[in-house]
Structure 1
Amino acid sequence: MKWYSIFLFLLIASCKGENTQLDISQTIVEDDWQANWITTQSPLPKKNAWLAFRKSFQHKKDTISTVLRLAVDSKYWLWINGELVVFEGGLKRGPTANDTYYDKVELTQALQDGENTISILVWYFGKEGMSHKSSGKAGLIAELYQGESLILQTNDSWKAIIHPAYIPESENPQPNWRLPESNIVFNAIKDIPNWIRSDFDDSKWPSANIICQGECPPWNQLVKRPIPFWKDYGLKSYENAISFPFLSKGDTIKCKLTYNTQVTPYLKVKTKAGRKITMLTDNYKGGSEYNMRAEYITKDGEQQYESLGWINGHVMYYIIPEGVEVLDLKYRETGYDTEFSGSIHVDDDFYNRMCKKAVRTLYVTMRDNYMDTPGRERAQWWGDVVLESGEAFYALDRSADALMKKGMLELMNWQRKDSTIFSPIPTGNWDKELPGQMLMSVGYYGFWNYYLNTGDLETIKKVYDPVKKYLSLWKIKEDGTLTVRKGGWTWGDWGTNRDVPILINTQYYLALKGYANMAEALEQQKEADSVRKQMVSFKKAFNRVFWKGDYYRSYKYKGKTDDRSQGLAVVAGLADPDKYDAIYKVLQTQKYASPYMEKYVLEALYQMGYPDYALERMKERFSKMVRDTTYTTLWEGWGIGAEGFGGGTTNHAWSGGGLTLLYQYAAGIAPTSRGYETFQVKPQPGFLKHIKATVPSIKGDIKVELKNEETYMLDINVPENSKALVYIPSKYNKIKMNGEKVIYTEEEGYKLFEVSSGAYQIEARQ
């Protein structure tokens, strides 16, 4: 029996229970690359190649900022004088379908006066994937500046070899076709000890081979990394107590991680040469197809090793041959550099647990790009991104915004000559348009929601014309509704009873709404007015054609009434209040949406004024995954594996929509103008009696605490340069703020008043 068969058996069981003087005569500008792309003289493997580069040079230390900029395909690790400076640099290609990202690394403090050595290990994927477009060639380009002076660059004075310890081919199984990464196999017998150190003798290493100069094919234009370097939490011990040292009897050691996260496994052992240790997680086949694993072939004696390609899961398995003395096992957690600055707590712990799992799921699906899942493809599907970014605006600090901005620019920079857009991108092996997801991405919940939360008009300017081109592809039929474009995959959603024409029509209307708002923000008022006029006609036609008296249904659809389409009609603004009672009745009985679309169904309930049932349905639908004690993350479907959708992954950020709804509707905090210049506090607590929330907005922390009992108590902290419109339910007649009577206006169901920055205690009585 193969080792992986043994592992899967165990997994199922466990889940159930030259030196160079400085030349400072050259100065360069930010986008003018003087350096050469370099590689090794030896022929490289077609894929999964590891290259080692070294360069020693003289440096006069100064207080002037000294910065290295460099690019590779695909990833790199950087040491200065033997000290690690960057753990996994580089971003998967590409910012466009042809170009490459580069990094800027601050080295002012890392460099010393006199001789210095730069050592760079490059991992070339050489393989297409759903999150990476391979250039087809391994290479490195680097330039070191002191201020604006170019003092070092890649050329044939650098040393370069194929790192002999990394084995490009591994035994089957291989990672599934969606992943550009390969299994990592390291043979310590062939290792080059201390090659990263300054005192290492590289005189026998061959010179690097120059490929071309500056921004040249196949890497083309170099675009500055738009997101932070990863946060490195350092080496950690596993959660379960393991007594070291111990002698393996041919054991599979099950090491528990604190939560589902992105990790690189570490080991320290003492043994003879030639023993193979395998490292993988419980997520190795977590999305129905194989993920990555790591293998280490031992040398003689005491040794330590860290596999550099990240994997994720709740449990790390070390498959260790008999006779190996295990001295230590650890892991390094890395991830997107953001803080969990948002918080929400209510008096029903189910929702607190749901939000905790939602944040954990969100974080493990963030790195080079937003992902649907790190377990199966690590791909930037835009149906997922829309929900993920919505969660991030509430749960994370504002460094997270850069990942959404990166995704928006990539999505539109990959737009094809025929104006279609598609996801996931970046990609090397996928080109199918999912019409619904594309409409959602460019629309109200996607691009426009980014602008509302960030106030970033420059990015909206960049995507505006591409969005206009994309929407021009969609045509209106004689009856005034939308001609449904099939695209590459008319998916809609997982699950049964999908009324796809209604889904696409509602998503188109949301796209028009977002586009009209963008036009207005860019002072393209004529365009905005034209689109809004189109929206009025479209809404009339939509209701004339699809409303059947008690529900929406398309002409040829024969399935049961689709809850998703009813919910989307409400949140799009296509359904008016006179239809709410009928739609509410539908949503009480029809429950076919996947966790992805369920967010919009629940949001519709809030918008229609049914917060109690929104909470009730949320608890019913998400109960199994929230109450589960095995996983710290939310799932792709309502169950796992065969009970799930699309492979049944156990960490899928689209399932965290409930987190957004609790902040936005239960606590009632939502921006009403660009970058939180104004926002509303309009709680819909339903049966919840106590809600306490902090939102790390672009203006600063917004804090709201609601005590919803006989006396309605509402504490609000409004950050500087922001204003809040406060809504109090109409049944309360006596309203005081900081002890003084409040002057308010009224609208249906509420008394409302505006407050500027400051802290407020509001007390309302009947």
Structure 2
Amino acid sequence: MAFHPPHPYSSEFPQAYWLKLPEPLRDLRDRRFQFRKTFEIKEVPAHAELHVTADAKYCLYINGKFVHFGPARGFQSHWPFDRIDAAPYLRPGRNVIAALLYTFGIGNYTYSCAGEYGFLLSGSAGDADLSTNETWKGRIAPGYLFAVARGSGQYGFQEFFDFRQAQDNWFAPEYDDSDWTEDLSPYMRIAGAMPWHRFEERNLPLLTNYVIPAKERSSVSCHQPAADGWQPIRHIYYSYHADRFLWKSAPETGDTVVFRDGIAGQTVDFGEEVTGTLRFEIDHAEEGMILDYFTFECLKDGRPDIPEKETHPLTFYGGRLILRAGRNELELSVPWGFRHVALWIHGEGNGLSVKLSARVLRYPFDLRGKFDSSDPAFADIWQMCVRTQLCCSVDSYIDCPWRENAQWWGDALVQSQNTFRLAADDRLLARGLRLIGEQRTPNGLTYAMAPTVGHTCVLPDYSAMYLVTLWAHYFQTGRTDLYEELADSVDSILDYFRTEADLNGGLAPYDPRYWLFLDWCNTLFKQGTPTLLNLIWLWGLKQVRIVAGAAGDLARMARLDSEIEKLSGAIISKLYDPETRLLYDGLRPDGTPVDTHSPHAAALAVILDLLPEAHDVWTEQILLPLVRSNRGNPIQPSSYFMHYIFQALKLKGFRRDVADCIRRWWGEFVQSGCSTAPELFLEHSTPGSTSFCHAWSAHPILHLSEILLGVRQLETGWKKISFEPFLIPGLDVSGVVPTPLGDIRVGVAWHDGRAETRCEVPKGVVCEQGTRESR
């Protein structure tokens, strides 16, 4: 057995080698590899630190127990690794460490594929060196049908598994691995080899790792399975579509369903949205029996709420399990987002029993933020939004766990504000700023998410919002280190907008090379010279100028001051009608103004304190009619952009209207049975396309905290706050707002028609009693 002295190429993995296996076809799409090492220790050490990574993903097991799913998303040139203490999983004597390596083999909205793969580990347990080298064994994971259909174009694959080939408990200590590949040295690559030139810590805590059971069976179908439904397929929707299900509600509490008495299909509800890996425990199977499944978010009248059409939906995560006689167990390889699972068989069930659970893999927030209300409607909305934010926080902020798992950066601005009312934790925002700042177009724009191969997803408005998120990090923490580190990204964004505006009379135009998003609103003007794009750019300039000032960056301050003055003047002179005191929504390509006046532009202009003499007009004619309506505005903002509508109205003192709108509009989500906040309002939601867990819709976390708890941050790092709860007669509220300096505890209690308020602040926080006018 060869001894490997430390090499100079990686301080994080000084004696480790990337483990690989021969892949004759060089087809790495949706592949799985298994590695394991047996070792002896006399006693369990107090600590046994391991550095672990893989490209693309790994599941680590020690002595048969699941330890972690990783690594965090990143770029191969400085690939992330995880720091794990193995000691709690060890025992005196014989031990086994094992890993499932998963490769996407293609790029997606979470991963940029560099055409290589491998598993890498460095560390020891007592005297036992656990570093990956030829002392490990490996094999191509049997049982998986690889390169099946994508679950969505933005993320991963469906998962098909044949238990007849691979039900062997391969990660358990007692497993016999004598037929595995014993000499991996021909395939190993030294740490530091390309494309992983260097490594970086994830700078995030490890994901949660706990298992929850399914809550209940929701419905059954006693249909006759399609005669040819057993035939091989590669997209599970076509199996589902071939059967003619007769769904009917049949609720039954528990995590286990049984196929008998003519039942061919069943749906199972986890009770709320899950971000994690689905787990199967199957008993009383017959050899070769087929169990098909898919996950989904909404159930309607006992039927999975998905499109019923000949072609498959855009998003459809599921797969096929081919069973062997007796017991079968499987945990899926990568996490999905779902609430419900549909199961169906081909042929007689004969008592087949299926127990479902899920391993929850989320960011482990220290949830100190709280909100309690004597009005159940507000309390339920808060809890729904909290669940949404938790499900959309993993190794980064993600837009949704079901369809994409992507770190969309406009979403992240909202998510950071949600987070800061739940936990004084800026790490997801900080890591995201670094990742987004690294992936840019040659002319300076950041991609809308990173890492990604989504080259159609370059959004100039999200690049401008990147500047705002730099300010958001500074305002939360009081630190300017990230601004200083990412100054090159700031300059590249500024250069893009300045170049485009200089060619367009001082205003940023629609750029047909890229996707101008702004909002999911088809009637919002996005051609020519859009007003909203220029307001977002102005917002970015103003906020990053604040950070530059705090950092003492005099050169950029001067440049930003000049650009702010120039852009403000262009907006006022070309996009504002002084007679009506309204902002046009933009200029057509021929330079003529459009005749619409969106709530979007009015709200951003209020937030920017632009043209304060016009604020009353915008508020009375545009913003208040919007929130007092039932979403009948011809330019209706989505649930996402309502965040900025609410921000503007709060600034003008209309807190009652914001609270009432949240109670009505977000109350519809709760009343419809949503456990999490959907991507869009329900009338615009499309089954199989629209996410029903989208954190950009969870911003009532912030607004209820500011309005009803009355806590508003006034200075960076939470050094100063105002306490001014909006008093609704008879409404008792209490809560906690976490800060980097400690928790703020507040409450309002009504007695004999009078409100008693309290506010307790930690040391270092100055509390100012609010005096703003509220209506």
Task: Compute the TM-score of the two structures, normalised by the length of structure 1.
Answer: 0.84
Relative to structure 1, the CA distance from residue 582 to residue 191 in structure 2 (aligned partners, 3 Å threshold; closer, same or farther) is: closer
Per-residue deviation, 1:559: 5.0
* Contact 1:690 1:708 (C-alpha < 8 Å) held by counterparts: yes
Per-residue deviation, 1:67: 1.2
**Alignment partner of 2:102 out of 113, 116, 123:** 123
SS at match of 1:505: helix
Give the distance between the partners of 1:688 and 1:484, measured in 2 at CA: 51
Unaligned runs of at least 5 residues, structure 1: 1-17, 730-748, 751-766
User: Aligned runs of 1:373-384 on 2, under 5 Å?
Assistant: 373-384=400-411
User: Aligned runs of 1:104-503 on 2, under 5 Å?
Assistant: 104-145=83-124, 151-170=129-148, 174-179=150-155, 181-191=156-166, 193-206=168-181, 207-208=183-184, 209-239=186-216, 240-242=252-254, 246-248=258-260, 249-263=262-276, 264-283=278-297, 289-321=314-346, 322-334=348-360, 335-395=362-422, 397-399=423-425, 401-443=426-468, 446-475=469-498, 476-477=501-502, 481-484=506-509, 486=511, 488-500=514-526, 501-503=530-532
Say if 2:725 is the partner of 1:725: no
Give the distance between the partners of 1:97 and 1:78, measured in 2 at CA: 20
Per-residue deviation, 1:708: 7.5
* Contact 2:606 2:648 (C-alpha < 8 Å) held by counterparts: yes
Relative to structure 1, the CA distance from residue 60 to residue 123 in structure 2 (aligned partners, 3 Å threshold; closer, same or farther) is: same
* Contact 1:126 1:136 (C-alpha < 8 Å) held by counterparts: yes
SS at match of 1:449: helix
Relative to structure 1, the CA distance from residue 493 to residue 60 in structure 2 (aligned partners, 3 Å threshold; closer, same or farther) is: same
* Contact 2:606 2:615 (C-alpha < 8 Å) held by counterparts: no
* Contact 2:8 2:14 (C-alpha < 8 Å) held by counterparts: no
- Residue identity over aligned pairs, in percent, reads 20
Say if 2:587 is the partner of 1:606: no
Relative to structure 1, the CA distance from residue 243 to residue 700 in structure 2 (aligned partners, 3 Å threshold; closer, same or farther) is: closer
SS at match of 1:566: helix
Residues 485-506 of structure 1: per-residue CA shift (max 9 Å, x gap) = 5251112211243244211111
Give the distance between the partners of 1:518 and 1:604, measured in 2 at CA: 22
Give the distance between the partners of 2:547 and 2:492, measured in 1 at CA: 14
- Comparing 605-614 with 30-39, greater Cα deviation is found at 30-39
- Comparing 682-691 with 188-197, greater Cα deviation is found at 682-691
Across the aligned residues of Structure 1 and Structure 2, the Cα RMSD in angstroms comes to 3.1
SS at match of 2:292: strand
SS at match of 2:395: coil
Residues 456-483 of structure 1: per-residue CA shift (max 9 Å, x gap) = 4433322233213211221245997522
Amino acid in the other structure paired with 1:57: F
- Comparing 648-657 with 579-588, greater Cα deviation is found at 579-588
Unaligned runs of at least 5 residues, structure 2: 217-251, 298-303, 308-312, 627-632
Relative to structure 1, the CA distance from residue 378 to residue 539 in structure 2 (aligned partners, 3 Å threshold; closer, same or farther) is: same
Partner of 1:89: 70
* Contact 1:267 1:305 (C-alpha < 8 Å) held by counterparts: yes
SS at match of 1:519: helix
Partner of 1:575: 611
Give the distance between the partners of 1:245 and 1:478, measured in 2 at CA: 65
Per-residue deviation, 1:632: 1.1
Per-residue deviation, 1:568: 0.7
Relative to structure 1, the CA distance from residue 566 to residue 165 in structure 2 (aligned partners, 3 Å threshold; closer, same or farther) is: same
SS at match of 1:428: coil
Per-residue deviation, 1:546: 2.2
SS at match of 1:724: strand
Give the distance between the partners of 2:704 and 2:314, measured in 1 at CA: 34
SS at match of 1:473: helix
**Alignment partner of 1:46 out of 21, 28, 41:** 28
Say if 2:537 is the partner of 1:508: yes
Per-residue deviation, 1:159: 1.1
* Contact 2:315 2:689 (C-alpha < 8 Å) held by counterparts: no
Give the distance between the partners of 1:192 and 1:643, measured in 2 at CA: 41
Say if 2:634 is the partner of 1:597: no
Say if 2:21 is the partner of 1:37: no
Residues 369-411 of structure 1: per-residue CA shift (max 9 Å, x gap) = 222222222211112111111111112x345x32222211100
Residues 123-175 of structure 1: per-residue CA shift (max 9 Å, x gap) = 1111221111123223111111469x9933222332111011122144xx542
Per-residue deviation, 1:242: 4.6
* Contact 1:637 1:645 (C-alpha < 8 Å) held by counterparts: no
**Alignment partner of 2:690 out of 648, 653, 678:** 648
**Alignment partner of 2:551 out of 522, 529, 537:** 522
* Contact 2:45 2:125 (C-alpha < 8 Å) held by counterparts: no
Give the distance between the partners of 1:456 and 1:280, measured in 2 at CA: 46
Residues 220-249 of structure 1: per-residue CA shift (max 9 Å, x gap) = 332212222221222424244259684433
Per-residue deviation, 1:421: 0.8
SS at match of 1:338: coil
Relative to structure 1, the CA distance from residue 24 to residue 146 in structure 2 (aligned partners, 3 Å threshold; closer, same or farther) is: farther
* Contact 2:445 2:460 (C-alpha < 8 Å) held by counterparts: no
Relative to structure 1, the CA distance from residue 347 to residue 565 in structure 2 (aligned partners, 3 Å threshold; closer, same or farther) is: farther
- Comparing 109-118 with 283-292, greater Cα deviation is found at 283-292
Partner of 1:584: 620
Per-residue deviation, 1:29: 7.6
Give the distance between the partners of 1:243 and 1:228, measured in 2 at CA: 30
Residues 525-568 of structure 1: per-residue CA shift (max 9 Å, x gap) = 45335523543453344223322233111343535321111001
Per-residue deviation, 1:612: 2.4
Relative to structure 1, the CA distance from residue 425 to residue 667 in structure 2 (aligned partners, 3 Å threshold; closer, same or farther) is: same
- Comparing 287-296 with 160-169, greater Cα deviation is found at 287-296
Relative to structure 1, the CA distance from residue 721 to residue 122 in structure 2 (aligned partners, 3 Å threshold; closer, same or farther) is: same
Amino acid in the other structure paired with 1:201: D
Say if 2:567 is the partner of 1:538: yes
Residues 555-595 of structure 1: per-residue CA shift (max 9 Å, x gap) = 43535321111001111222315532443322234531111
Per-residue deviation, 1:351: 2.8
* Contact 2:205 2:363 (C-alpha < 8 Å) held by counterparts: yes
Give the distance between the partners of 2:727 and 2:524, measured in 1 at CA: 31
- Comparing 460-469 with 46-55, greater Cα deviation is found at 460-469
Give the distance between the partners of 1:121 and 1:584, measured in 2 at CA: 59
Partner of 1:742: none
* Contact 1:497 1:561 (C-alpha < 8 Å) held by counterparts: no
* Contact 1:312 1:374 (C-alpha < 8 Å) held by counterparts: yes
* Contact 1:688 1:708 (C-alpha < 8 Å) held by counterparts: yes
Relative to structure 1, the CA distance from residue 482 to residue 191 in structure 2 (aligned partners, 3 Å threshold; closer, same or farther) is: same
Amino acid in the other structure paired with 2:199: L
Relative to structure 1, the CA distance from residue 567 to residue 144 in structure 2 (aligned partners, 3 Å threshold; closer, same or farther) is: same
Amino acid in the other structure paired with 1:159: K
